[in-house]
Amino acid sequence: MTALETIKDTVEKNDVVLFMKGTKMMPQCGFSSRVAGVLNYMGVEFADVNVLADAEIRQGIKDFSDWPTIPQLYVKGEFVGGCDIVTEMTLSGELDALFESKGVAYDKAAADKIREANA
């Protein structure tokens, strides 16, 4: 499989996927750490893809989404965005609404705590 085929397959087979630098248990960049931290704190089950482990995947995800930066979050096959967008969506409640509309389980109380701490 090509890198793009692998990416497409990963996005289609997982409800939530984070293409990131490092892993959800050991992020290797601040932006990846922030997004993984939000998802972990909110109790979202997600697949993590370490783009540092494969140069073709690292470039391929940028081509796949037509988005130049990493991390990149996908929910039910839909590209959501990177760190800034995920942060804004978390603080505005839009991420909660997206998870609810897509049937993705998450901890609403944890999401509320994130917003309270950043109010």
List Cβ neighbours of 34 (8 Å cut-off, separation of 6 or more). Answer: 83, 86, 87
Q: Is the pLDDT of residue 4 over 90?
A: yes
pLDDT of residue 82: 97
Domains, the chain, in order of start with CATH, read 3-117 (3.40.30.10)
Eight-class DSSP state of 28? S
**Average pLDDT in the 1-17 region?**
96
Q: Do the Cβ atoms of 14 and 69 come closer than 8 Å?
A: no
**Nearest CA-CA partner of 78 in 35, 24, 37, 17:** 17
- Annotated binding-site residues read 29
Give the three-class secondary structure for 19.
strand
Percentage of the chain modeled with pLDDT above 70: 100
pLDDT of residue 37: 96
The pTM for the full model equals 0.96
**Nearest CA-CA partner of 57 in 45, 70, 44:** 70
pLDDT of residue 1: 86
Neighbours of 64 (CB within 10 A): 19
Q: Do the Cβ atoms of 61 and 7 come closer than 8 Å?
A: yes
Per-residue pLDDT tens digits for 33-75: 999 999 999 999 999 999 999 999 999 999 999 999 999 999 9
Q: Do the Cβ atoms of 44 and 106 come closer than 8 Å?
A: yes
- Annotated binding-site residues for [2Fe-2S] cluster read 29
Q: Is the pLDDT of residue 119 over 90?
A: no
Task: Assign 78 a pLDDT band (cuts: 50, 70, 90).
Answer: very high
Q: Where are the alpha helices (DSSP H) in the chain?
A: 3-13, 30-41, 55-65, 83-92, 94-102, 108-117
pLDDT of residue 107: 97
